[in-house]
């Protein structure tokens, strides 16, 4: 169709103009980089390893635990069966069938038992697997013979030898982070590189409609496959408490041959690594170390000393010792316990990290000892998704309202313009603040409220464009051809009006991110424990004198994000229409 | 002129009505009402059937007294009546909002007046200077700096200033909390004024830089467009000096975009300083609003919203009139 070809050449023209501004292209890459961080956050900051080869006792116990539950059910059934025989038949007959029908057929305990034993057995060494299998045969025969005593002793064996005692596991390989991902995350992770490639190809005009379809189809197929094949599982394995192979107390397998001698403290060991690869930031989102709260970034103290010695002295500041800020801590720590004192620098923080992961808190920690860099990486998800989702909402509303007003004119235009006029009177941040205060905070509320309140700019823009375009001949031609109004609006007029909308949407994303972080900063936005840049800033407000990194780094992240969106928006506007130079809505 | 103003005011009336409707809907359609807020938590806290029954009946009485058991249209009518008769009140303590509102309004008005004047006084010359010599070193660096400032979130700037001027570094050039030093009442009027000015330095910086960046960019763009025009070349050709061309011939036309922005500056008296007032603990309108939102004072919040919207409307009106005053080519009709 001609209109599509026209719009494509329009985008080509815009891109050619846009490319000439190196700052704008860099801003675009920066945005892509930030989105990449948000998309791949689980691989960048996590308390699980990327790759793990070794013995995972915790996983074994977790997968065997269902067996204990199913065995309990079996015992209950057998028990009830035996009591029902001895009791008065009238009372028992009334209650037992009803109850047993509600518990037993829901999940066949024997089948569940076999499944659990099978999955757990796969982790064992052949000798122990046979032992477990023998145990299962015992249980099955006892169950067949309705042997209550046999079942109960089997239960004890399960607890003592397999669940609490140590068994010999064979080393297994796993990718804990990968398999903790949801299908949606997989979708984004596959889409992201494809989309970047597609965008690069599009700038060289080497991709058509089929290519874009493929780019959307591949991640969707992968995500569906993931959803189908990989069970959603919460991996609670405490990898950080694992021992490295060869360390003292780590050799669980050595004593496993004689389970009777397994000491109680030996059973505390959860596993050991042979090889492990941690993500760059080996800290989890909610991984709190109270003894490390307000740990400063490793370079913080030298920089501060430099500051006080040069600029501070120059400006007439009294020489203050850096230790003073930690001396004022007792109000917060309450105890004189030296371990409660915030660690002075990153090195000592790393050495006191529980588990065998020696890692620095590159950007320090917050008030509960959580790693700031990790929270900022995950917070990027919130901030960037708020921008994109709320702007999608407001663009859709704005286009529909503006297009109807500009296309139909008459009383539709009068009514819609009046509504726009009324909504425009409310200052946006103020309006959003009020609604959020009464509706309640939360990520989705913020997205929706920003989307529902900030659409007036785009509506006015689209209306003006439509008023101009409706007069032109191609619309008359479309009408003469008998096209429906929807078709004319969306397929013929809108492509001609989309460039200013794109520009406005880019600024809108910057505005939405700013609004979200302002709300979170004021305490109305995204609340703990969900990480967001504005929320971290809010948590740093009261400790700004002794933990300024809680303000500086998330603030910089917000600043850089908004800056790059603004640069890109500005260049887009100049490229799309020089007449619009200077306008922002 | 006066007939125009009269007509505009008439047109504004339906918009005003729409504003009150939307305000009312936003606040009242959210779950809960002042009665549940006032008695809901008390009912949970009080143990025993007796006290529960008494809070229940108190809640009911409260609802009846303030009309929260009526259907929404009736409630809207009551809200309108209260709005017109200035009978807005705090529900938590059953007191009118006026004394506190007046104090907060006074504080914000002064603060924002200073910000407003400062913004225009700084932005217009900066815009003119960079437009008078486009693409020079000065122009490029101011453009770059203003762009950075424009993208800098207010709360981040304010927090950075607080880091700079808060205790450990002992840089106590400027106080970071409140508007007056404790015990200022006994001082002379002059000292009080100095103290006030000393306190508002940081908040004013935070409130000014954003609109300053925006305004001077607009000013520069507007001036550039004017300077390109033919009549400027004519003025130059007949031998006018550069300052005369820029300040006398170009400035008047270059002012239009800045004047239209007036509309957005006026409502900032209420809404613009929410963040800054919260950070610097200034008892102005912004903090008044936030506190009432946290306490869910329905009337106070509704009234604030209405004021903010009306101020925008008035701002737009003033901008339109000013536009005509500086640009005789446009008539009021």
Nearest to A522 among B168, B290, B309 (CB): B290
Chain A residues touching residue B173 (CB < 8 angstroms):
315
CA A65 – CA A71 distance, rounded (Å)? 10
SS (H, E, C) chain B: CHHHHHHHHHHHHHHHHHHHHHHHHHHHHCCCCHHHHHHHHHHHHCCCHHHHHHHHHHHHHHHHHHCCCCCHHHHHHHHHHHHHCCCCEECCCCEECHHHHHHHHHHHHHHHHHHHHHHHHHHHHHHHHHHHCCCCHHHHHHHHHHHHHHHCCHHHHHHHHHHHHCHHHCCCCCCCCCCCCCCHHHCCHHHHHHHHHHHHHHHHHHHHHHHHHHHHHHHHHHHHHHHCCHHHHHHHHCCCCHHHHHHHHHHHHHCHHHHHCHHHHCHHHCCCCHHHHHHHCCCCHHHHHHHHHHHCCHHHHHHHHHHHHHHHHHHHHHHHHHHHHHCCCCCCC
Tell me which chain A residue has its CA closest to the CA of residue B28: A438
Instruction: Work out the average pLDDT over A490-519.
Output: 91
Show the tokens assigned to B291: 């506190």
Among candidates A318, A438, A548 on the partner chain, residue whose Cβ is nearest the Cβ of B30: A438
Q: Min CA distance, A318 vs chain B (Å)?
A: 6
Nearest of A504, A498, A500, A544 to residue A521 by alpha carbon: A544
- Residues A296-323: pLDDT tens digits? 888 888 887 887 777 666 665 544 444 4
Closest to A426 measured CA to CA, from B30, B297, B22? B22
Chain A: residue whose CA lies nearest to B221: A582
The percentage of residues in chain B with a pLDDT greater than 70, rounded to a whole number, is 89
B308 vs A430: CB contact, 8 Å cut-off?
Answer: yes
Q: Which residues of B touch A570 (CB under 8 A)?
A: 147
pLDDT tens for each residue of A74-105: 888 877 776 655 554 444 444 444 444 444 44
State the pLDDT at residue B287.
87
Is there a contact between A555 and B160 if contact means CB atoms under 8 Å apart? Answer: yes
Which chain B residues are Cβ-neighbours of A566 within 8 angstroms? 147, 150-151
Calculate what percentage of chain B has a pLDDT beyond 90: 10
Confirm whether pTM is higher than 0.90.
no
| Out of A431, A514, A552, closest to residue B153 by CB | A514
User: Stretch A42-48: mean pLDDT, rounded?
Assistant: 87
The alpha carbon dihedral of A192, A39, A433, B106 has a sign of: negative
Contact residues on chain A for B275, CB-CB shorter than 8 A: 518, 521-522
A45-54, A172-181, A479-488, B289-298 — most confident range: A479-488
Given a contact cutoff of 8 angstroms between Cβ atoms, the answer to whether A184 and A57 are in contact is no
CB contact under 8 A, A582 and B218: yes
User: How does pLDDT run across B191-201, given as a tens digit for each residue?
Assistant: 888 888 888 88
CB contact (8 A) between residue A427 and residue B152: no
Q: What is the pLDDT of residue B41?
A: 56
Angle at A54 between CA A49 and CA A57, to 5 degrees: 95
DSSP code at position A583: -
Of B15, B160, B278, which has the smallest distance from its Cβ to A522's Cβ? B278
b/e burial code for range A378-406 (CB count within 10 A of at least 16 → b): bbbbbbbbbbebbbebbbebbbbbbbbbb
Chain B CB contacts of A541 under 8 Å are 159, 279
Distance CA A362, CA A349 (A): 11
Q: Which among A427, A438, A567 is the nearest to B267, CB-wise?
A: A427
Q: How many CB atoms lie within 10 A of CB A331?
A: 6
Cα radius of gyration (chain A) = 32
Distances from the Cα of A271 to the Cαs of A53, A171, A244, in angstroms? 11, 10, 9
With a cut of 80, say whether residue B203 has pLDDT above it. yes
A337-342: average pLDDT: 38
pLDDT tens-digit profile of A522-552? 888 888 788 899 999 999 888 887 888 889 9
Residues of A in contact with B147 (CB under 8 A): 563, 566-567, 570
Cβ separation B217–A582 shorter than 8 A: yes
- Collapsing DSSP to helix, strand or coil, A174 comes out as strand
Q: Which chain B residues are within 8 Å of A520, Cβ to Cβ? A: none
Confidence band (pLDDT; 50, 70, 90) for B51? Answer: low
Q: Is the confidence at residue A563, as pLDDT, over 90?
A: yes
CB contact under 8 A, B293 and A433: yes
- 3-state DSSP call for residue A272? strand
Q: Do A541 and B159 touch (CB under 8 A)?
A: yes
Q: Is A328 helix (H, G, I), strand (E, B) or coil?
A: coil
Residue pLDDT, tens place only, A122-157: 778 888 888 888 888 888 887 777 777 888 888 888
Task: Express as a percent the part of chain A with pLDDT over 90.
Answer: 29
> Strands A271-277 and B89-90: what pairing?
unpaired
Is residue A357's pLDDT more than 60?
no
pLDDT score for A393: 95
> Which of B126-130, B170-174, B204-208 is least confident?
B170-174
- For residue B171, the model assigns a pLDDT of 59
A164-168, A399-403, B82-86: range with lowest mean pLDDT: A164-168
The mean predicted confidence, pLDDT, of chain A is 78
Look up the ipTM and state it. 0.89
Q: Which DSSP helix (H) or strand (E) runs through A50? A: none
Answer yes or no: is pLDDT of A257 > 80: no
Distance CA A455, CA B197 (A): 39
Q: What does the pLDDT look like over A100-109, one tens digit per residue? A: 444 444 457 7
pLDDT at A256: 42
Contact between B253 and B265 (Cβ < 8 Å): no
Give ∠ CA A67-A71-A75 in degrees, rounded to 5: 175
Give A284→chain B minimum CA distance, Å: 26
Give which of A582, A94, A246, A32 is closest to B223, Cα–Cα: A582
- pLDDT of residue A384 exceeding 70: yes
- With beta carbons less than 8 A apart as the criterion, state whether A371 and A361 touch: yes
B309·A425 Cβ contact <8 A: yes
Cβ contact B90:B96 at 8 Å = yes
Least-confidence region, from A281-290, A462-471, A571-580 = A571-580
First to last CA, chain B: 9
Distance from CA of A401 to the nearest CA of B (A): 18
User: Is the distance from CB of A165 to CB of A132 less than 8 angstroms?
Assistant: no
Mutate to test the interface with B, among A308, A322, A427 (most CBs of B within 10 A): A427
Query: How many C-beta atoms surround the C-beta of residue A195 within 10 A?
Result: 17
What value does the mean pLDDT of chain B take? 82
Beta strand A243-244 pairing with B95-96: unpaired
Output phi, psi for B177, to 5 deg.
-130, 135
Rounded Cα–Cα distance for residues A126 and A124 (Å): 6
pLDDT surpasses 80 at A339? no
What phi and psi values does residue B170 have, to the nearest 5 degrees?
A: 60, 20
Which chain B residues are closer than 8 Å to A422 by Cβ?
A: 15, 18-19, 22, 309
CB-CB contact of A446 with A526 (8 Å): yes
Task: Measure A39 CA to nearest chain B CA, in Å.
Answer: 24
What residues of B are in contact with residue A318 (Cβ under 8 Å)?
A: 170
For A322, residues 6+ apart whose C-beta sits below 8 A from its C-beta are A301, A304, A305, A308
CB B233 within 8 Å of CB B260: no
At residue B258, does pLDDT exceed 60? yes
Q: Are strands A243-244 and A271-277 parallel, antiparallel or unpaired?
A: parallel
Task: Specify whether the CB–CB gap between A285 and A41 falls below 8 A.
Answer: no
pLDDT of residue A50: 87
Q: pLDDT (tens digit, 9 = 90+) per residue, A189-240?
A: 999 999 999 999 888 878 888 889 999 999 999 999 999 888 777 777 777 7
* Structural tokens at position B173: 């050039």
Determine the Cα–Cα distance for residues B80 and B294; give it in Å rounded to an integer. 24
For residues A45 and A234, what is the distance between their CA atoms, to the nearest angstrom?
A: 17
């Amino acid at each position: 169709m001609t209109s599509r070809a026209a719009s494509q050449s329009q985008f080509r023209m815009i891109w050619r103009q846009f490319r000439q501004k190196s700052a704008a292209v860099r801003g675009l890459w920066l945005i892509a980089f930030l989105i990449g961080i948000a998309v791949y956050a689980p691989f960048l900051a996590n308390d699980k390893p990327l790759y793990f080869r070794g013995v995972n006792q915790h996983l074994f116990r977790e997968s065997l635990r269902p067996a204990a539950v199913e065995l309990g059910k079996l015992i209950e059934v057998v028990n009830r069966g035996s009591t029902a025989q001895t009791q008065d038949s009238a009372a028992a007959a009334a209650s037992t069938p009803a109850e047993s029908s509600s518990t037993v057929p829901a999940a066949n305990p024997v089948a569940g038992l076999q499944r659990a034993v099978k999955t757990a057995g796969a982790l064992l060494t052949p000798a122990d697997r046979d032992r477990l299998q023998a145990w299962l045969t015992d249980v099955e025969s006892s169950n067949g013979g309705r042997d209550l005593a046999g079942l109960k002793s089997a239960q004890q064996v399960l607890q003592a030898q397999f669940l609490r005692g140590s068994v010999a596991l064979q080393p297994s390989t796993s990718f804990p982070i990968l398999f903790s991902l949801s299908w949606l995350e997989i979708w984004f992770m596959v889409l992201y590189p494809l989309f970047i490639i597609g965008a690069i190809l599009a700038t060289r005009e080497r991709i058509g409609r089929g290519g874009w379809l493929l780019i959307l189809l591949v991640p969707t197929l992968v995500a569906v496959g993931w959803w189908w094949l990989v069970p959603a599982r919460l991996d609670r394995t405490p990898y950080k408490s694992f021992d490295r192979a060869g360390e003292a107390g780590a050799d669980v397998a050595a004593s496993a041959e004689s389970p009777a001698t397994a000491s109680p403290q030996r059973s505390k060991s959860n596993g050991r690594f042979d090889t492990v690869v941690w993500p760059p930031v080996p800290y989890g989102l909610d991984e709190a170390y109270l003894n490390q709260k307000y740990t400063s970034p490793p370079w913080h103290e030298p920089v501060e000393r430099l500051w006080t010695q040069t600029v501070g002295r120059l400006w007439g500041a009294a020489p203050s010792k850096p230790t003073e800020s930690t001396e004022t801590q007792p109000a917060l720590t309450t105890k004189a316990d030296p371990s409660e004192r915030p660690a002075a620098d990153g090195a000592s923080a790393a050495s006191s990290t529980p588990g065998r992961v020696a890692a620095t808190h590159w950007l320090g920690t917050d008030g509960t000892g959580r790693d700031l860099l990790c929270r900022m990486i995950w917070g990027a998800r919130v901030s960037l998704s708020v921008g994109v989702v709320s702007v999608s909402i407001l663009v859709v509303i704005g286009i529909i309202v503006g297009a109807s007003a500009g296309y139909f004119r008459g009383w539709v235009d009068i009514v819609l313009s009046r509504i726009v006029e009324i909504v425009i009177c409310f200052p946006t941040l103020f309006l959003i603040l009020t609604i959020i205060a009464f509706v309640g905070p939360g990520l989705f509320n913020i997205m929706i409220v920003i989307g529902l309140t900030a659409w007036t700019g785009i509506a006015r823009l689209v209306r003006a464009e439509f008023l101009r375009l409706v007069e032109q001949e191609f619309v008359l031609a479309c009408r003469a051809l008998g096209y429906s109004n929807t078709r004319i609006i969306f397929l013929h007029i809108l492509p001609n009006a989309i460039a200013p909308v794109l520009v406005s949407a880019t600024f809108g994303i910057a505005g939405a991110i700013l609004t979200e972080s302002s709300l979170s900063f004021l305490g109305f936005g995204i609340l703990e424990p969900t990480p967001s840049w504005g929320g971290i800033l809010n948590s740093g407000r009261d400790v700004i004198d002794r933990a300024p990194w809680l303000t500086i780094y998330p603030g910089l992240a917000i600043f850089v994000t908004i800056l790059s969106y603004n640069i890109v928006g500005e260049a887009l506007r100049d490229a799309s229409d020089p007449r619009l130079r200077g306008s922002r809505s | 002129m006066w007939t125009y103003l009269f007509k505009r005011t008439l047109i504004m009336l339906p918009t005003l009505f729409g504003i009150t409707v939307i305000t009312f809907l936003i606040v009242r359609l959210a779950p809960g009402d002042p009665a549940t807020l006032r008695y809901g938590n008390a009912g949970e806290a009080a143990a025993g059937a007796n006290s529960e029954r008494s809070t229940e009946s108190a809640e009911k009485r409260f609802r009846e007294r303030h009309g929260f058991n009526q259907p929404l249209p009736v409630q809207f009518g009551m809200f309108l009546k209260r709005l017109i008769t200035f009978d807005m009140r705090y529900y938590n303590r059953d007191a009118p909002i006026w004394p506190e509102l007046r104090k907060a309004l006074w504080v914000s008005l002064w603060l924002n007046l200073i910000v407003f004047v400062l913004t225009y006084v700084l932005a217009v010359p900066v815009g003119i200077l960079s437009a008078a010599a486009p693409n020079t070193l000065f122009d490029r660096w101011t453009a770059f700096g203003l762009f950075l400032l424009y993208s800098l979130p207010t709360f981040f700037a304010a927090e950075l200033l607080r880091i700079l001027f808060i205790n450990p570094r002992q840089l106590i050039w400027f106080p970071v909390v409140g508007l007056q030093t404790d015990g200022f009442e006994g001082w002379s009027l002059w000292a009080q004024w100095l103290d006030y000015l000393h306190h508002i330095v940081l908040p004013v910086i935070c409130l000014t830089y954003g609109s300053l960046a925006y305004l001077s960019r607009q000013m520069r763009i507007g001036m550039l467009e004017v300077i390109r025009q033919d009549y400027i070349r004519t003025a130059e050709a007949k031998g006018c000096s550069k300052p005369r061309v820029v300040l006398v011939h170009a400035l008047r036309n270059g002012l239009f975009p800045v004047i239209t922005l007036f509309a957005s500056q006026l409502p900032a008296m209420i809404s613009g300083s929410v963040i800054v007032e919260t950070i610097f603990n200034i008892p102005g309108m912004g903090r008044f609003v936030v506190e009432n939102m946290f306490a869910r004072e329905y009337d106070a919040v509704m009234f604030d919203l209405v004021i903010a919207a009306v101020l925008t409307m008035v701002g737009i009106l003033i901008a339109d009139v000013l536009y005509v005053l500086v640009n005789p080519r446009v008539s009021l009709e």
